[in-house]
Amino acid sequence: MIVCKFGGTSVASAEQIQKVANIVKSNPARKIVAVSAPGKRSSDDIKVTDLLIDLSNAALNNDDIERKLQKVVTRYQAIADGLALDYAICDVIAVDLRERLQGDKSNEELFIDNLKASGEDNNAKLIAAYFNSIDMPARYVSPKEGLVVNDLPERTFALPEAYSNLAPLKDTKEIIVFPGFFGYTKAGILRTFDRGGSDITGSILAAAVEAELYENFTDVDCVFSANPKVVNDPVEIKEITYREMRELSYAGFSVFHDEALMPVYKIGVPVNIKNTNNPSAPGTRIVPNRPATGRPVTGISADSGFSTLYVSKYLMNREVGFGRKLLQILEDENISYEHTPSGLDDISVIMRSNQLTVENEARILARVKNELSADDVQMRHGFSMIVIVGEGMRNNTGLAARAATAISKTGANIEMINQGSSEVSLVFGVLQEFENQILQALYGEFFAHVQA
């Protein structure tokens, strides 16, 4: 059995959904289909999820919601029209949205989640109806039938029982159309995953039914070894390990959600990233292990929006518990960190800047200074992380030197270097303004002689 997931652009219009039907029909093993909400039809279009967020915010602010609600319904109407489906389906969608808008507003996050999730939920119902209308027996299945997630305040993830609950889907006779992006807590409260989270739903389903393959259909032919918007004609990645993909998607490879790897990784279901608009292209396969290619570096990614908390204190290395106390201060502010490079008397904690506010930053600085008696404490912003990734790096010497030399030629200062113990990645912290230049320089260094 194959589980496939179709992303927003793959289900954005009637024409796209027809392509989805053809893809599903062409292989009888494709029995479970997870779908996103209708995404962008062109670069200046708006995703239905964003229309829904706008709608829910208007409802929370007691603003007029009619025009915003109509915008959403119109998107489904255009799809139903193009697929020759009964318009009654759009009335059902309008009623559903009104019901959600009447929902409990006491917790704004949950209210927004409930509206946001309707994008995938209604699209799944519509796509199942379309499949049935063209003689592809299909059934909409709600995440209520087993995709149990944790409670607030933690970020949403599937509980272990979700997998056993969903396992019986493997015996399905019809094609199952399952909405991506959300699940229900044990108490029946709807919660969404992070943005782009339909990838996660597909992965949970693939793991639950122990699929032979998880196909993730998007709008590009493959994963590239570097961002094609920055590097000219980068090499296509044909095969990549879970670990490599994890490292790359951490920093800017948005083609596949980084949290989506975990469920399939645990039981070793391979993933194939494919293009709905060009389904015969082989795509990129994400696998547990792959044969060595002779090339140490598989991909280079870069992501901006990092801040560094720099702390120095004489004899820090002798002080038992210093690191724990420092990280406790961040935990108290509900902040996660990415890297902690350290010296004898200083340590830097690198985190995503979007977790910081003027208020929590001031509290952190004051507490580190007072409670840890630090000599110097600074929060610095505007950093990028450049990540060089490759299973083959472990067996190669001199890679860090080559990378550092390439970076130095751009004139940028390396603010931080971090090599994980697995040696599958090498991370450089640099000032944001050098990011693109460095990416190009590193690509030239490690891929210049490779045929694109």
Residue numbers at the binding site for ligand ASP (CB under 6 A): 7-8, 36-37, 47, 49, 119, 180-181, 195-199
For ligand ASP, the closer of residues 8 and 146 by Cβ is 8
Give yes or no for a contact between 263 and 160, defined as CB atoms under 8 angstroms apart.
no
For ligand ASP, the closer of residues 123 and 308 by Cβ is 123
Estimate the crossing angle of helix 88-101 against helix 48-60, to 10 degrees.
Answer: 40
Rounded Cα–Cα distance for residues 172 and 194 (Å) = 29
- Number of other residues whose CB lies within 10 A of the CB of residue 38: 29
The C-alpha angle with vertex 4 and arms to 79 and 289, in degrees rounded to 5, equals 150
For ligand ASP, the closer of residues 198 and 348 by Cβ is 198
Please report how close the Cβ of residue 184 comes to ligand ASP at its closest, in angstroms: 17
183 φ, ψ to 5°? -145, -170
For ligand ASP, the closer of residues 11 and 175 by Cβ is 11
Bridging pattern class, strands 299-312 and 346-352: antiparallel
User: Smallest Cα–Cα separation from 202: which of 263, 244, 161?
Assistant: 263
Please report how close the Cβ of residue 218 comes to ligand ASP at its closest, in angstroms: 10
Please report how close the Cβ of residue 39 comes to ligand ASP at its closest, in angstroms: 6
For ligand ASP, the closer of residues 75 and 367 by Cβ is 75
Please report how close the Cβ of residue 36 comes to ligand ASP at its closest, in angstroms: 3
- Spacing of C-alpha 142 from chain mean position: 22
For ligand ASP, the closer of residues 72 and 427 by Cβ is 72
For ligand ASP, the closer of residues 139 and 195 by Cβ is 195
Please report how close the Cβ of residue 106 comes to ligand ASP at its closest, in angstroms: 24
Rounded Cα–Cα distance for residues 450 and 452 (Å) = 6
For ligand ASP, the closer of residues 19 and 47 by Cβ is 47
Please report how close the Cβ of residue 248 comes to ligand ASP at its closest, in angstroms: 18
- Number of other residues whose CB lies within 10 A of the CB of residue 102: 9
Please report how close the Cβ of residue 196 comes to ligand ASP at its closest, in angstroms: 4
Rounded Cα–Cα distance for residues 254 and 232 (Å) = 18
- SS3 per-residue string spanning 192-241: ECCCCCHHHHHHHHHHHCCCCEEEEEECCCCEECCCCCCCCCCCEECEEE
User: Smallest Cα–Cα separation from 297: which of 434, 439, 429, 412?
Assistant: 439
For ligand ASP, the closer of residues 96 and 345 by Cβ is 96
Please report how close the Cβ of residue 245 comes to ligand ASP at its closest, in angstroms: 17
Rounded Cα–Cα distance for residues 396 and 182 (Å) = 42
Which residues, other chains included, contact 394 with Cβ-Cβ below 8 Å and sequence gap of 6+?
A: 422, 423, 424
User: Smallest Cα–Cα separation from 127: which of 80, 78, 92, 74?
Assistant: 80
Number of H helices, E strands in the chain: 13, 17
Please report how close the Cβ of residue 116 comes to ligand ASP at its closest, in angstroms: 7
Please report how close the Cβ of residue 169 comes to ligand ASP at its closest, in angstroms: 20
For ligand ASP, the closer of residues 180 and 263 by Cβ is 180
